[in-house]
Amino acid sequence: MTALRPLLITAGEPAGIGPDLVIDLVCQPERMVSLPPFAVVGDPALFRDRARLLGVKLEIIEVVPGQSITPAPGVLPVRSVPLSAPVVAGQLDRRNAGYVLACLDEGIRACLAGEASAIVTAPLHKGVIIDAGYPRFTGHTEYLRDACGVDDVVMMLATENLRVALVTTHMPLSDVPAAVTADKITSTLRILHRDLVRYFGVSAPRIGVCGLNPHAGEGGHLGREDDDIIAPALTLLREEGMVLSGPLPADTAFTPHHLRDSDAMVAMYHDQGLPVLKYAGFGRAANITLGLPIIRTSVDHGTALDLAGSGRAERGSLDVAIDQALVMARAATQGK
Ligand SMILES: NC(=O)c1ccc[n+]([C@@H]2O[C@H](COP(=O)([O-])OP(=O)(O)OC[C@H]3O[C@@H](n4cnc5c(N)ncnc54)[C@H](O)[C@@H]3O)[C@@H](O)[C@H]2O)c1
Ligand SMILES: N[C@H](C(=O)O)[C@H](O)COP(=O)(O)O
């Protein structure tokens, strides 16, 4: 098997639990013997201070692009990006918003340059980045799309037996109906279909698609988008050979009856699909950005400022995100 290039993990919001999670990761001997080379992108001083707060003994080794070291328990390989301001665990500071984006930029650059096999992102705080002077920032997903120069990407979260992909992502609920266009639906489904085959080993994907309105519009009595926009888009894609069910009434789309026949379920908006996924597998799911020229996975949770530095943050989703990135990176290597 071809050796993978190093994996990069961005530590995300420095006042959140991202630093705690990567420190916890490298303290697990069984994880360290099973992982390929990796490095965390962030400020070494942040990890040193957080390890002290957590009462953890940590050796930090700074690595440069192209350098990889064999994972070892208690050793944190760091690709250094300097903080702009000192960090207090649990307290956001706008001055570090540029640092969070610089870490992300370094991960993207390294993946695009072929120096890294994938990027795994710990959570960032969208609000503090927007407040710091990046008004168009809405999340990693959209930032990665723009940084990688692609027209569209798909946010999919996956846990043991459920995959949920979204047509629309980070926008006010009031903007959703106008954003559910035929083009957006067809683009989402084409990206999802292609990446289920490419990265998830699903040779002939069966995809369920939720409607937008209650009871998928109740024949037009509870909204017209289901009949006028979603159904025709699905008809077009079926003519291309896709196996799709829907538009399904979203309230029953996630019942065993439908899930049994679906390799992924598509929701029209964030809180139509993600509460179901997080109910089914919070802490055991990964967030995957499909449609990028690079591989990116993330955790299923946010910055949890209330837990930063407490030692109570659970690492489960970071493990799943790392494992998912490695599966995808190996699939990409084999596909070449
Ligand atoms: N991948 C990402 O970058 C990502 C994902 C989700 C949310 N966020 C951002 O995080 C910020 C905070 O979001 P939120 O408060 O809605 O959600 P959150 O996930 O940070 O917190 C929700 C609840 O879950 C708990 N929790 C979260 N992660 C946990 C963990 N690993 N172990 C134990 N408990 C955990 C928190 O303590 C809190 O009670 C927002 O800015 C949001 O946009 C980022
Ligand atoms: N929608 C994601 C979730 O609820 O878990 C989260 O906000 C992260 O999104 P990005 O990966 O785009 O930052």
Q: Which residues of the chain have pLDDT under 50?
A: none
Instruction: Please give the pLDDT value at position 305.
Output: 98
Contact 256, 104 (CB under 8 A): no
Number of structural domains found in the chain: 2
Residues 285 and 298 in one domain: no
Residues 92 and 175 in one domain: no
Residues 38 and 103 in one domain: yes
Instruction: Please give the pLDDT value at position 66.
Output: 82
Strand runs labelled E in the chain = 7-10, 38-42, 59-62, 75-80, 118-121, 154-159, 162-166, 206-210, 243-248, 264-267, 286-290, 296-299
Q: Which domain CATH number covers 209?
A: 3.40.718.10
pLDDT in tens, 173-189: 999 999 999 999 999 99
| Cα 118 to Cα 111: distance, rounded to the nearest angstrom | 6
**ipTM of the modeled complex:** 0.98
Instruction: Please give the pLDDT value at position 334.
Output: 83
Nearest protein Cα to ligand 2, atom 2: 300
Annotated binding-site ranges for a divalent metal cation:
170, 215, 270
Please give all residues whose beta carbon lies within 6 A of any atom in ligand 2, as ranges.
Answer: 139-141, 270, 274, 287, 298, 300
Distance of CA 245 from the midpoint of ligand 1 (Å) = 32
Residues 283 and 191 in one domain: yes
Query: Considering 254, 275, 291, which residue would you say is the last residue of a domain?
Result: 291
- CA angle (157 as vertex; 151, 161 as ends), nearest 5: 140
Instruction: Please give the pLDDT value at position 311.
Output: 97
Instruction: Please give the pLDDT value at position 69.
Output: 87
Residues 170 and 187 in one domain: yes
Structural domain containing residue 165: 152-291
Residues 241 and 167 in one domain: yes
Report the predicted TM-score, pTM, of the whole model to 2 decimal places.
0.97
